[in-house]
Structure 1
């Protein structure tokens, strides 16, 4: 089978196309023939070891797991003898989490892992791209205990996490301000944002605007700047926090009693199924910016790392 490997940390060019044997599922596993996977900020950060804390978890000198990729959608083509929840031919979507391995034509996962059946209303590309942004956004929003009519500003609102956060915040009754480039105003408003502001204009108003939740998706602001927009008793979310920001946020939370939320997130099947329920109700949309073939993974990583994508980037691994 074709796989994309990452045998050392570095720029997109460290990703290589290789041929591996097709794995066989264990007794409690299903094997999924992957139709689509995705590239998101978590993928390029692991590839680049950014923040440096990545090395402590995934390998100090080189990645211990050489096949990256977290989210997938495809068809079950083989099952272990003890599997009861899935059958050969089922269309599924899921997340491998920190086990990774989705940059491949096949992946074996436990039937009790974060995997569920793909709704008939969703394409494989949508199924492969819903989990990262959606599960990240909902976990942080739950930590904030968002209330009806609260105000939330989402900085970096047009990416995968930001576009998910807009829709989820609106679902829970919040008033949403989206901060993004002006070219993405139409997109964020179509997803439910009440107001859209470009980056420069927003940052110039730090002494006048205050929100119950400041949701920073892209790691491009300083914590002191974020706090200027936060109401007393509010919640600051740092999705893309650097290693230094993680330590700073812990210190501020402990000694200044300000609620700051950083990763890692908790991925749950309940949250994934909740997202799919919203999709089926027409209350959640997965926006796909671009799709690349597996063989163009380097270019896909380069595009996502540049930070200008609108929603999600899908990878076509195979055709059904």
Structure 2
């Protein structure tokens, strides 16, 4: 072998070694190279869990890597969320959570984590509207008729939610405060309150459209308003509370993906791009649209800013509603 050939082989060997060293020093280049663990601090089978599984399955296909989902509810989702805050920031632990993430500080002043500072916001899966539902047997003509009757019976109306400080709770409180009537809160663990409204044992509640739509279509529930700024595509004939004349009554429930705060920024950006690509895939896009999930294509920086704003806004809402920290 000539000296030139030997030199060429040596150069190729050196180049390969450099590439290996770069890959080892920059894990973002090879991420993800192993299965990812996704924490979903929601009860299995809930509307949020359904959205989580659809999105994470799409993300898994886009990344070409499996994502193992773990449901861990309890304490408003703070137990599972706390585990992610303490996880290795290597890109192999995700948190898929609802807007309850930005409600928690108002309810749990001694949280073992900082919802903004201990997490890197990755991507938003989208937002979902809720419907204000009542039993058709109550005979409410529309939202204004409902409010008039609630005001005529101060504290006589009851409303259901998935628990104190849940998104369904604060959605109802935001509307109640705007409309100016009193009502008694009846929390239900896990959100299975629709049968109580259907039976007329509870007067009203806000329920994600994805889970209440079958009962609405079959006439067991009556939707008299939606919480989103614009009408919901699944209920185009149902007005928003805003258009019915109740200012600051809308409430957006979003779902998003987070990683531990010190995760390399390159991995966060890569995960954001992969999530947005997955959400643009026609099959997933159509399935989410069927659940009335509205896209919210934000960058990680924009999502981080949204989280900080929402923490402040929810703290003010919780105070106005008289919610007591746990």
What TM-score, normalized by structure 2, do the two folds share? 0.33
Tell which structure's C-alpha radius of gyration is larger.
2
What TM-score, normalized by structure 1, do the two folds share? 0.33
Determine which structure has the larger strand proportion and give its number. Answer: 1
